[in-house]
Amino acid sequence: MPASDDQSAYWSSTGTTKTFGHPLHAAWTDRLPRDAALLDYGCGYGRLAGELTALGFTDVEGVDVSPELIARARAEQPAARFTVLDRPPRLDRPDGACAAAFLFAVLTCVPGDAAQRALVAELHRVLRPGGLLQVSDYLLQPDARNQERYRRSEERHGRFGVFTTSDGAVCRHHTREWLDELFAGFEPAGERELAVRTMNGRPAVATQLLLARR
Ligand SMILES: C[S@@+](CC[C@H](N)C(=O)[O-])C[C@H]1O[C@@H](n2cnc3c(N)ncnc32)[C@H](O)[C@@H]1O
């Protein structure tokens, strides 16, 4: 595994100081029964899990590599369950156990193709056929600052769009072609673009996808 695909040390130290802000698009959860099994992969401090329980969902689990973020999630969101992943992306769930999964600002933290494929394959395994995957992440950003750092980092990371933040996280912004390939096992069911703040407080454009497991 490339070192940049295991950033658990970052998420247990510097990462615990961050604020995550990609908003949940609640309308995409409207058709789910309130007792549907929901999985928030890379849940951080339980922000989305908390929003989902506030919407009335009763079976919400968040999973993350960071024991520190999971401890905070457990303290702040008692209506949801939280699990530390010790062998990511392996989930302790049977095939087809989940009605929906959420993957918010996680792919950007898992830069390698193979690691992203393994993560998406595991979500595909635990979703039932027709189950929904909501993704919020970054396409390549057009602004000069990002374009410059993609260029500067390309040789080091071997890919345009992968870069190291000033505090040491290796992140990826994606081409549309890559996301289409990555999610080939899903049927597109919705897409939106919105202005967000990154975890470092910078303005960016996020892309949100609603995907149905084939
Ligand atoms: C930018 S934060 C987003 C947190 C949360 N999804 C939210 O939007 O509030 C990225 C999260 O992904 C987690 N993460 C990073 N790599 C991971 C991996 N390989 N497996 C599971 N979680 C991971 C980090 O610990 C962190 O909590």
The percentage of residues in the chain with a pLDDT greater than 70, rounded to a whole number, is: 99
- Is residue 42 a part of any domain in this protein? yes
Ligand 1 atom closest to Cα of residue 199: 1
**69 Cβ inside 6 Å of ligand 1:** yes
CATH number at residue 202: 3.40.50.150
Task: Specify if 123 maps to a domain.
Answer: yes
Q: Is the pLDDT of residue 5 over 80?
A: no
Give the whole-angstrom CA distance, residue 159 versus residue 186: 25
In a domain, 191, yes or no: yes
Q: Is residue 39 part of a domain?
A: yes
Q: Is the pTM of this model over 0.95?
A: yes
Which tokens belong to 134? 């909501």
Residue 143 placed within a domain:
yes
Tens digit of pLDDT for each residue in 7-22? 899 999 999 999 999 9
pLDDT of residue 4: 73
Tell me if 1 is assigned to some domain: no
- The rounded Å distance from CA 190 to ligand 1 centre is 23
Tokens of 32: 């789910």
Tell me, yes or no, whether 26 lies in a domain.
no
Indicate the top mutation candidate among 18, 77, 109 to test ligand 1's pocket, ranked by most ligand atoms within 8 A of CB.
109
- Domain contains 2: no
How confident is residue 6, by pLDDT bands cut at 50, 70 and 90? confident
Q: What is the number of alpha carbons within 13 Å of residue 170 lying toward its C-beta?
A: 19
User: Could you tell me the residue range of the domain that residue 187 belongs to?
Assistant: 34-213
Task: Find, among 81, 106, 79, 104, the residue nearest to 23 by Cα.
Answer: 104
The 10s digit of each residue's pLDDT in 111-136 is 999 999 999 999 999 999 999 999 99
Give the tokens for residue 179: 């996301």
Number of domains the chain contains: 1
Distance 162 CA to ligand 1 centre (A): 17
Q: What is the mean pLDDT of residues 37-42?
A: 98
